[in-house]
Chain A
Amino acid sequence: MKREPVKYALLVAVALLAPLYFSGGYLMNVLVFVGINTLLVVALNLLLGFAGQISLGHAGFFGLGAYISAILTATHQVNPWLVMLIAALAVSALAFLIGFPVLKLKGHYLAMATLGLGIIIYIFFNEAVDITGGPSGFSGVPNLSIGALVFDDDVKNYYLVWSFTLVVILLAVNLSRSRIGRALRAIHDSEVAARVMGVNVRLLKVQIFALSAFISALAGSLYAHVMTFVAPASFGFHFSVELVTMVIIGGLGSVYGSLLGAALLTLLPEMLRAFQDYDIIIYGLILILATMFMPGGLVRGIPAVLAAILPKKQERG
């Protein structure tokens, strides 16, 4: 049972040392986004992988976090750290209120309702031109800073984002192994049985939805400060679907799987640049093959593939 701390320590070590290898390169910038996407995918996985409730509106929560941070810090000069907290609380409060009616729905209907929510938020970003800057975006978001330390380059931003990501991963792993984690997986399997065990299913679903929105908004705030620019196009329906794909490719119900899914799907388009116009075809093919041959996601698929390959080597050698 001592495997969890070792796994986590290993992850922290790799995350801390990565800039030594990548710093200065273009990949450093990509790794910042791997961190932000991991936050989002962990958040969505709590909802989708553990509790079994789909959301196609998470890009909306992400965007709300980003816009609240952008507008309050650039237009109203409020302390960005304070705004980050306010944004996360406000977005999770919104999710909490919306969650009560919406999470009564199941399956396709829940997908439709959350999709609608995401689209409403997206339209708001586009149309409320006076506040958000409309389709052309909102620029001039300040970088975050602690005292004299300003997070203004890729390496600094990397450490900024990943310190959040690592904390959230730790919290999510602990949550998944607690009684709440068990209750979430119970809801996923049978709501009736969970209710007769005394789990307040309705409340717990809404709470996890709100927590998921909280983390997503946090990721949004970080995104706004790292990019110093936000535009509606980053928070559309397409990105919500991409997040769901990352959860599934990584592994439903696995926190470390979320990291793998986010990493693969964020890095892949960059690596496929060499194929130019054909990159999207290869990207799609990889997704199809991954879901066909690793139905449990990368987190279960990679060990299975390794186990299948390694004994064969021993036989030959």
Chain B
Amino acid sequence: MLKIKNINTYYGKVHALKNVSLHLNAGEIVTLLGANGAGKTTILNTLSALTPAGSGEILFEGARIEALPPDRIVKLGICQVPEGRQVFKPLSVEDNLELGAYLRYRSREGRGAIKKDLEKVYQLFPRLLERRGQMAGTLSGGEQQMLAIGRALMARPRLLLLDEPSMGLAPLIVQEIFRVIETLRQESGTTVLLVEQNAKAALKMADRGYVMETGKVILEGVASELLENKEVQRAYLGKEKKEIWER
């Protein structure tokens, strides 16, 4: 479904992604792991065309997309839930959700389809229904994360890019959000690229994973194998830290 070939992305002179290649099959949940500054978010922003790639190719369903502007990317069905939620704080919950469908108002499907999707999001996150008229800035962190995901779903993404959805949230809420991501895959076959610090939870849910370090992909594999991988355990899961050090 998605193929990234040898992309390089720069922030000014900083070389943030170095010849990164990865792929996603339709219906997969793939997770990107790595320490802070490894380039995980940069991959998502390059996909969303917020920080366009300096070189390399991005293929989405066979078509080159690396030169498209952000709104075209969304139209193709690639939608990002940005890091730190970024809900529109002064707008109501419902306005936030309707903004997610911004590009769909002019399409042929009509407003009925948007209304239906709104109902679906409320089913998925009943708490948002309770707070539909409330300003998004007054929601708790977990609710804001649900809103951010719901807002992205309103664009009917085929590929959902999730940037650290568990950041700063209580474990119970994190569980609920992960449960929703799995439901999405089962019910609508949404492909998910998940960036996470919570490596263990991410690997448990994902099919495959990539591990990044300083702008490069250093490891890739099936999620269950990565969970067992000594290097991953040492670096991201904190297991047997001491033994590996002493060796």
A interface, CB within 8 angstroms of B = 179, 182-183, 185-186, 188-190, 192-200
Contact = CB atoms under 8 A, between A and B. Distances in A.
Dominant SS among interface residues on chain A: helix
B89 A198 contact: no
A173 to B, nearest CB: 16
Contact of B91 (A182, A195, A198): A182
B100 interface: yes
Contact of B86 (A182, A183, A192, A199): A192
Interface stretch (B14-22, B71-79, B184-192): B71-79
Interface in B138-152: 151
Contacts of A194: 88, 99
Given A192-B50, A198-B74, A183 B90 contact: no
B99 A183 contact: yes
B57 to A, nearest CB: 22
B102 A179 contact: yes
Contacts of A195: 48, 50, 70-71
A199 B102 contact: yes
A198 B102 CA distance: 7
Given A179-B102, A182-B99, A183-B99, A198 B87 contact: no
Contacts of A189: 88-91
Contact of B90 (A185, A196, A200): A185
A195 B74 CA distance: 9
Given A192-B86, A197-B102, A200-B69, 12 more contacts: A182-B99, A182-B102, A185-B90, A185-B91, A193-B86, A193-B88, A195-B71, A196-B50, A196-B74, A196-B80, A197-B99, A198-B79
Interface in B4-56: 48, 50
A18 B166 CA distance: 59
B155 interface: yes
B182 interface: no
